Amino acid sequence: MVTIKDMMRPWATFLLTWLSYAGLYLTRKNLSAVKGVLVREGVVSLETLSTMDVGYLLAYSISMVPAGMAVDNGSPVAVLVAGLVGSSLATIALPYYFGLGSFWGVFIAFSINGMCQAAGWPSTAKLMSNRYPASQRVAIMGLWSTNYQLGGVFASMLAGYLSVAHSWKMAFYVPAQVLLCIAGCCLLFLQDSPEEETVKTEKRTDVQVENPIIFLCHSIVVKHCSVYVAIKLVRYSLLFWLPFYLASEHGYEDDAAAYLSTLIEIGGSVGVVVIGFFCQKFNVAPGHACSGFLLCLAVVMCAYAATPSPFLLPFIGFFLYGPDSLIVGAIGQNLAGPRYAGSLCALINGVGSLGAFAQGYLTPVITQSYGWTALFHLFSLSSLCASVVLLLPTPSIVLHAKTE
């Protein structure tokens, strides 16, 4: 007999995992919101900030696959809570090392933050995969993926407000404390999937593998990984540098620049819901929908390069975050099945982070040598290439990790 408690468990998992991944953006995006203040006050140089971003992204990328394998072979909740706590503590350490003027201190602390942040996506994706069947995941994951847009909005607004109303140090202390509270809630109320609650693994006879790394042998996985490299190149450059660009190039105050940058996440939160329900309602292949969105993104980025109007920022977010959420979420979950959803989603995310890693060097080099307009044209070209790659034919196979 199914009780009301049983019916509520998937939505309790939805809420707590949504809150957890949204909360991780409090300690991921706060630095970008106060970069202008740190540079103007002489706390740190622009070059050091760029190197910190690279260290963070390298640690994030390298840690993603081990985190995914730990999730699939252990407790997703334990991995998630460890990541939340570790990210909080690393963030609390940053103002101390900034005050000392220690390059290695801030570099190592922010890199540890990246390593801990890597635990977030595979653990939450695993928990969600276990709670919802494949037939529902595209729409449900579209709605769930609003976490990293709305989390980014709140993170920017909170850090921008704290840096102006109090001090830039509070933009690190307060978000870290909030994240620790979320970690406590997950530890108390979030549960790994018991046998009877887990969505039964789909019966498949297509391609079975024992080691999730072997997924990279299949062209369909390589295709989605390469597309995600292009998406993360764009997304993380905007995530880390848009407030700085708005303040330095257009004269906005630091808090106003932080607030204005959230227009991308606001548009993105609509995009992830729309693309998920569009695919579900009209039975559109997620890959084709992602390709269309990325083509539109290429056009919008060209328009922004020509006329950098704030009006275009929500449209950039809409067409950027829609395919982002599907490729690293529902598509990866459905390819791997619940057993290895954490590993494959982490693999796609980790390989895609090479794009985020590359932007750490490309963004300052291109903007200082050729200007911001050239960077936006690069984003347009990257989006166009990703759109075309998604349309390339690949074997129609369903990957599934072999179970006992």
Structure tokens at 77: 């909740």
Q: To 10 degrees, what angle do helices 134-144 and 120-131 make? A: 140
In whole numbers, what is the pLDDT of the chain averaged over residues? 84
Q: Give the separation between CA 87 and CA 39, rounded to whole angstroms.
A: 23
Per-residue pLDDT tens over the stretch 132-142:
776 677 778 87
Phi-psi region of 80 (alpha: psi -120 to 50; beta: other; left: phi over 0): alpha
Q: Which residues of the chain have pLDDT under 50?
A: 1-7, 195-210, 401-404
Per-residue confidence (pLDDT) for residue 5, from 0 to 100: 46
Per-residue confidence (pLDDT) for residue 396, from 0 to 100: 54
Structure tokens at 180: 């620790």
Per-residue confidence (pLDDT) for residue 9, from 0 to 100: 65
Backbone φ and ψ for 209, nearest 5 degrees, come out as: -135, 150
Total residues belonging to the chain: 404
Per-residue confidence (pLDDT) for residue 401, from 0 to 100: 45
Kind of pairing, strands 399-401 and 207-209? parallel
CB neighbour burial string for 116-147, b if at least 16 within 10 angstroms, e if fewer: bbbbbbbbbbbbbbbbbebeebbbbbbbbbbb
Question: CB under 8 Å to 38, separation ≥6 — which residues?
Answer: 44, 49, 98, 168
Q: Give the separation between CA 306 and CA 15, rounded to whole angstroms.
A: 41
Per-residue confidence (pLDDT) for residue 195, from 0 to 100: 38
Per-residue pLDDT tens over the stretch 90-108:
999 999 989 888 889 999 9
Name the helix (H) or strand (E) containing 238. helix 219-250
Per-residue pLDDT tens over the stretch 182-201:
999 999 988 886 533 444 44
